[in-house]
Amino acid sequence: MDFIFVEGLQLEARVGIYPHEKAATQTVEINLTFGVPEAAAERDHIADTIDYEKVTTRIRDLLLTQHFNLLETLGEFLVKVLFDEFGAPWVRISIAKLGVLRGVRRVGVYIERGRDGFMPPFWPSAAGAT
C-alpha cells in the first residue's frame, strides 16, 4: 500500500469544552497519513488516488461549521470523512491545539484506524509525529 501525508495543516476550528473555546475559533494543526491504491503509481492518473487538495479543502470547509468538545471526537469525525467520502483504507491523524496551556507548545491526540479493521503490513511513521 502507498501512503499520502499532509503535514502541518493549520486552520481555525471550534473545539473545546470551556466557554471561551465555544465562543471563538482557535488554531489547530492537523497531520494526516492515509492509504491510497497502488494503481495511482502504476498508471500516473489522479483518478486512481486520493486528491490531497480535495481532502484539505473538505476538512477546512467542515471545520468552519462544526463544534467539537474533544479533539478525540474531531479526529474520529475526520477519519470517517476520509473513509466515507474519499475511500481511504487506512488513516493516521494527529490533531493539536497550539499554545493553549502556559509553557506548552501544543496539546493533541493521535488516532489510527483501518477501514473494517484493515491495517497495513507496516505502519509508516506519522509525518511530524515527534
Q: pLDDT tens, position by position, for the chain (130 residues)?
A: 789 999 999 999 999 999 988 999 999 999 999 998 777 778 888 888 999 999 999 999 999 999 999 999 999 999 999 999 999 999 999 999 998 788 888 899 999 999 887 776 665 555 444 4
d(CA 123, CA 112): 10
Contact of 108 with 95, CB cutoff 8 Å:
yes
Q: What is the pTM of this model?
A: 0.86
- Bridge partners of residue 106, in order along the sequence: 98
Residue 40 counted as domain residue: no
Q: Give the range of the structural domain holding residue 104, as residue numbers without chain letter.
A: 2-35+45-117
Query: What gap in Å lies between CA 110 and CA 127, rounded to an integer?
Result: 12
> For residue 49, is it within any domain?
yes
Total domains, the chain: 1
Per DSSP bridges, beta strands 26-36 and 90-101 are antiparallel
